[in-house]
Amino acid sequence: MPDVYSSLILPDVRLMVQDEDRHGLTEFCRVLHPVVIANILEELEPREVWVILDHADLRLRVEIFEYVSLRRQMELVEKLDKRRLSELLEEMSSDDRVDLLSRMPQDRVEDLLPLIAQAERNDIRRLLSYDEHSAGSIMTTEYASLPADITAEEALKRLRQQAPDSETIYYIYILNRNRRLEGLVSLRELILAKPEASLSDIMQRDVIRMRVDEDREDVAQELARYNFIAMPIVDNEERLVGIVTHDDAIDVVQEEATEDAHRQGAVEPLQDDYEDTPLLTILWKRGIWLVVLSFVALMTAEVAHRYAKATSRDGSRAHEVAGFSQSDPSSDESEVGVADDATDLTSSLIFLFIPLVMASGGNAGSQSATLFIRMFALQPADGAVPGTGFSVDRELVLRELVLAAVMGAVLALLDFVYVLIRFDLARATAVGVTVFLIVILGTTAGTMLPILFRRLDMDPAIMSTPLIAAIVDVLGVVIFYEVAMIIF
């Protein structure tokens, strides 16, 4: 596996950078696959990265740079001077550079654009204008195109000239004078054709195409269905404006699957990989759903409350049983002591708040499990990617616990205030403390169980959302009773 390889040679690379070993670094850039080099660059300081990339010519430098993760690319360009950055951007493929520019601060982009050649600049502005989830946002404008009225031999000659600026030359699009898409010739068909054959005779007509404003997910799926290397993208006048290549389509499929997995686990989709997303962002994307779900759970408590009251028409005793003896706001606004009959209360408390307590723990745990399971799914089975070993697991688990403490505190406060207003201080305290503890416990279970399963070489995905929730439910009851027994 190349990844094991890259972590093995990382120390050597560091040494070469320290010693400014020109020969060594040039060889390093020349011999290894750009993906492998990019992998290694993820682990180095930006300063070290630029020392290394200076030993590659511009074309290779850009190729390596394009394989670096977007988050890392942003770190790398942060302190790069404008001249070198514009040089890099000019050479980058049109889709990759727009991805980078769309993440950079607006004023920096406006600063940079004048340094970039007119044609490239127009291309950038056009691509930047497309909606984030449209075909336009993932297409490249660097396609190979030819007119219909030339021979196969002539076509091959012209193709050789276009090759350096084309993302793929395996599909050649046949355009008329107005750049309308008329046909398609694959390079395979082209080299199998007689040299004197006219493109208009060998080209496929009625080419499958998609529009620039269609959903990028649909484009990826259609490309997959037709087994295409690239999908041509046209505007409203059927003019070819770009192509979406197979490698971008597979990225879209993976990103959309990740988004869906996160949504399914009640996490607002993250823009970056989980392990690259800042703590505050994750807190927000999870917290918002935990709060929404807590409100639904509070509604459940309200409904149960109303039913309990309705079924206790016969008087105080059954009412007392349901736990409203002295604090039902509709009959008595006071928060007087309720601790005089501790065991009764302990039991009756549960009846209203157990679903709320369980939901908080189960939901927080499901979120953790979802994030970890999807992260594992995107990593090779042997975990050999640099930065995914045991030490990183530990770091991520610690981060989860910090998150859990914050989210637990917020939910506990929310529930505390609700129970305090509707019932009394003792119950509010019991619920608040339990929710805080169960969120931490749920998160721990949601984090550790997938990790455990992966280490045992089993599929971590067995730890489904409902299973995590069910396991945390058991723990929830235990904690709630223990807390309630202490408080009353």
State whether residue 118 is helix, strand or coil. Answer: helix
For a copy of itself, give the closer residue by CB, 116 or 356: 356
Q: DSSP state, 239?
A: B
Give the span between the Cα atoms of 428 and 417, in whole angstroms. Answer: 7
Q: How would you label 476-486 residue by residue, b for 16+ Cβ within 10 Å and e otherwise?
A: beebbbebbee
Cβ 214 to a copy of itself shortest distance, Å: 8
- Helices 390-422 + 279-310 axis angle, to 10: 40
For a copy of itself, give the closer residue by CB, 176 or 221: 221
Cβ 264 to a copy of itself shortest distance, Å: 5
Dihedral angle over CA of 78, 82, 83, 85, nearest 10? 40
For a copy of itself, give the closer residue by CB, 181 or 469: 469
Q: What tokens does 15 get? A: 């040494």
> What secondary structure does DSSP assign to 147-204, as a single string?
-TTSBHHHHHHHHHHHGGG-SEEEEEEEE-TT-BEEEEEEHHHHHHS-TT-BHHHHSB
Q: Which helix (H) or strand (E) holds 211?
A: strand 210-211
For a copy of itself, give the closer residue by CB, 242 or 355: 355
For a copy of itself, give the closer residue by CB, 104 or 378: 378
Give the span between the Cα atoms of 4 and 88, in whole angstroms. Answer: 29
Question: Which is nearest to 140 in space by CA: 33, 75, 229?
Answer: 229
Cβ 104 to a copy of itself shortest distance, Å: 23
For a copy of itself, give the closer residue by CB, 108 or 200: 200
For a copy of itself, give the closer residue by CB, 85 or 308: 308
Give the span between the Cα atoms of 302 and 321, in whole angstroms. Answer: 16
Q: Which residue has the tokens 């988050």?
A: 71
